[in-house]
Amino acid sequence: MKHVPQAIEADLKHARALELWTLFWQLSIVAVMFFAMGSSQAMKSAWVEDVLGMVPATVFLVALHFEQKAPTEKFPFGFARVNSLAFLIASAALIFMGLYLIYDGGMKLVRMEHPTIGAAPLLGPDVWMGWVMLAALAYSTVPPIILGRLKQPVAKRLQDKVLHTDALMQKADWMTGVAGGVGILGVGFGWWWADSAAAVLIAVDIVNDGRRALTIATAELIDGAPRELGRNAVADEARSLRQGLQSKFGADRVRLRESGRFILAEVDGGKPPAQSDPEALWSGDQERRWRLADVTATVARR
């Protein structure tokens, strides 16, 4: 398998820079939300989601560090699959924390806990802390939306599931801000249940993101066929590649699996074509031919 294809070096550097900026902005958001959340359950859930927002960026950077290492004696196939492991970790973290927040917010609804959002002196006169919370929520949505939009095309070109999951989480952060804001305003109008209900809605969205990502991560780690980015369906370019290899080899069977962002192929039967370079055997968009990293052929006896 190739180390890091030259075709994606620039995109990898861009992705790394975006994730470093993500950590910088997420840390500032976490600090602002922490000092503004008070006793609000919706703010607490939004704060936890903002903390979780650093997990995909962190595991992406760690995975990228290992992915760029050359194969060793103990790891002769290299470290491309670290990306798959990172994706699994990010998915599991989302589900675990989402379920905790559902339990926490749900119990407050069952016990009918009435949150209070008081007033506090702010540069002079007392100010209702709800306005401070709403301002913090507004701030927490702007950087993720911008960064999420910047990451999506890069994730697609790199076929990077961790980066794609991170982009979707950040793109959806405005939902967290809106839900949290509705909860805060609800408390202001005397609807005691609005705060915890908003927190549960945020947590359900977290679990749904994690469930979808975990399904894809599990399929990849047990050598499932290459999946569409962000979906559990088999990728169209994998179907096209399988048909192309069957035709070029005259093969009885072609099996494809993913290793991180790369595709590995095993061809059973048939006769190898004159051109054996994996990239030359790619049958789809030529700008993505770097994805086919290895083709192993078992030639039938004649």
Please report where in the chains the tokens 């609000």 appear, as a residue.
Answer: 40
Residue 284 and residue 163 share a domain: no
**Structure-derived torsion over alpha carbons of residues 172, 161, 232, 208, reported in degrees to the nearest 10:** -30
What was the pLDDT predicted at 22? 92
Domain-embedded: residue 249: yes
Q: Are residues 100 and 25 in the same domain?
A: yes
Residue 234 has what DSSP assignment? B
Q: Within this chain, do residues 22 and 170 fall inside the same structural domain, yes or no? A: yes
Give the sign of the dihedral formed by CA 222, CA 226, CA 232, CA 233.
Answer: negative
Residue 31 identity (one-letter amino acid): A
Q: What is the CATH number of the domain that holds 124?
A: 1.20.1510.10
Give the number of residues written for the chain.
Answer: 302
Domain count along the chain: 2
Give per-residue pLDDT as tens, 60-100: 898 888 877 777 888 777 777 787 787 788 778 778 877 87
Of 46 and 58, the structure prediction assigns the larger pLDDT to 58
Taking 60 as the threshold, does the pLDDT of residue 2 lie above it?
no
**CA-CA distance, 37 to 54, in Å (whole number)?**
19
Look up residue 156 and give its two tokens: 């697609």
Indicate the pTM of the whole model.
0.77
Establish if 62 belongs to a structural domain.
Answer: yes
Under a CB-based contact definition with an 8 Å cutoff, are residues 45 and 202 in contact?
yes
Most confident segment among 35-49, 162-176, 223-237, 254-268: 254-268
Separation between Cα atoms, residue 180 and residue 168, nearest integer Å: 19
Question: Are 278 and 295 contacting, i.e. CB atoms less than 8 angstroms apart?
Answer: yes
- 42 lies in which domain range? 6-221
- Average pLDDT taken over every residue of the chain: 79
Its sign, for the CA torsion 70, 74, 80, 85, is negative
What is the reported pLDDT for 18? 94
